[in-house]
Amino acid sequence: MAAALRVLMAEDEPLAAEVIEEGLVEAGFEVLAANDGQEAVDLAANGAGFDLLLTDLRMPRLDGKELIARLRAERPDLPVVVMTGFPPPDGAASLQAGHGPLRLLTKPIGITPLIAALRDVAGQD
């Protein structure tokens, strides 16, 4: 059995964050929850260990695009799953910083496709 994947999750909508975290934990992930991009950057800067990033795009203080850019400045191959109700017109390409895998999902997202996307970018099929 592989070690649990640790997901750094940035989601500013508390109810959504709670539902997603619950689903991911049930599926065997460990979740580090951040209320927005800035909190996620702070967690990473303070040495929190994580294998992949799950982020919303529209968040206060620091949005998902900037969060991806900052984390990938340190870890260019960091796997990322973006979930948003407002996908950028040019899609995932506009969010790509670094060279790790990135998947863009449009909300509302069921927990099953979300888990599949996380496992996919992490290389666990």
> Under CATH, what is the fold of the domain 6-121?
Rossmann fold (3.40.50)
**Predicted confidence (pLDDT) per residue in 47-79, tens digit:** 999 999 999 999 999 999 999 999 999 999 999
pLDDT-derived band at 125 (thresholds 50, 70, 90) equals low
pLDDT computed for residue 108 by the predictor: 87
Per-residue pLDDT for 2 more than 70? Answer: no
Scanning 9-110, the segments in alpha helix (DSSP H) are 14-26, 37-45, 64-74
pLDDT digits (tens, 9 = 90+) for 12-58: 999 999 999 999 999 999 999 999 999 999 999 999 999 999 999 99
pLDDT at 79 (0 to 100): 97
Q: Measure the CA angle with vertex 54, ends 102 and 124; round to 5°.
A: 65
**Residue 1, pLDDT above cutoff 60:** no
Residues contacting 13, CB < 8 A, separation 6+: 56
Token pair for residue 33?
Answer: 């929850």
Helix (H, G, I), strand (E, B) or coil at 7: strand
Terminal Cα distance for the chain, rounded = 14
72-109 pLDDT, tens digit per residue, is 999 999 999 999 998 888 888 888 877 899 999 998 88
- CA angle (6, 12, 76) in 5-degree steps: 45
